[in-house]
Amino acid sequence: MKNLRKQIKDNKDIFDDQEPMEGHFERFEALLDKQEKEKRKPIKRMQLMGIISIAASIVVLMVVAIQFYSPQHIPNDLPVIENTMEVSDEFRATNDFYNRQMQEQIADIMCKLANTDSENQALLNRDLQKIIDGNAAFVNDMANADDEEMAIHYLVKHYKANIQALENINEKLGKYTKC
């Protein structure tokens, strides 16, 4: 073998003057392209599998986070005047109108609240519960009031103040999260 190498080295001029066969460069290029494509296929598969596994991990983390860190359920059952109370249709309609607006605000807040940290969730849950409880007590007091016109007037003022407070909370949460 050493003699063969020595002979090739000594007679290099003989080997270098010959041209490759016709189409050699095209076949060589095709062979290189084929080898390059075969190397890229596993990489693409690995990249795709990596992306899929990352996406699956994110989904699992989101499910776990929502399960453990979602805000405690706040009852959205805002006061609805019982049928046993003697109130006018105007009082009932006014209460229902503003009641719906409060429920919409609370639903939007709860959606955004699910995306905040647990400390904010606890604080806002307590604040929302106070608003809901205070509203229920106020509506019941107004439903039992003697002067219906004044009761409706104060009911509207009370609801507007509560809705404004809820809108402020919702707006502040909206700066950080969109639902």
- Taking only the tens place, the pLDDT of each residue in 75-114 is 445 555 544 456 678 888 888 888 888 888 888 888 877 7
Looking at residue 151, what is its pLDDT? 83
Q: pLDDT tier at 176 (50, 70, 90 boundaries)?
A: low
Most confident of 14-18, 39-43, 163-167: 163-167
**pLDDT (tens digit, 9 = 90+) per residue, 55-66?**
777 777 777 666
* Contact (Cβ atoms closer than 8 angstroms) between residue 116 and residue 172: no
| DSSP codes of every residue in the chain | -HHHHHHHHHTHHHHHTPPPPTTHHHHHHHHHHHHHHHHHHHHHHHHHHHHHHHHHHHHHHHHHHHHHHSPPPPP-------TTS---HHHHHHHHHHHHHHHHHHHHHHHHHTTS-HHHHHHHHHHHHHHHHHHHHHHHHHHT-S-HHHHHHHHHHHHHHHHHHHHHHHHHHHTT---
Higher pLDDT, 146 or 47: 146
Please name the residues in contact with 64: beta carbons below 8 A apart, sequence gap of 6 or more: none
pLDDT-above-70 percentage for the chain: 77
**pLDDT (tens digit, 9 = 90+) per residue, 3-27?**
888 887 888 777 666 677 788 788 8
Please name the residues in contact with 174: beta carbons below 8 A apart, sequence gap of 6 or more: 112
Mean pLDDT of 148-156: 85
What does the block give as tokens for 117?
A: 């940290």
Only one residue has tokens 């009852």, namely 75
Q: pLDDT tier at 73 (50, 70, 90 boundaries)?
A: very low
Looking at residue 61, what is its pLDDT? 73
* Mean pLDDT (the chain, rounded): 76
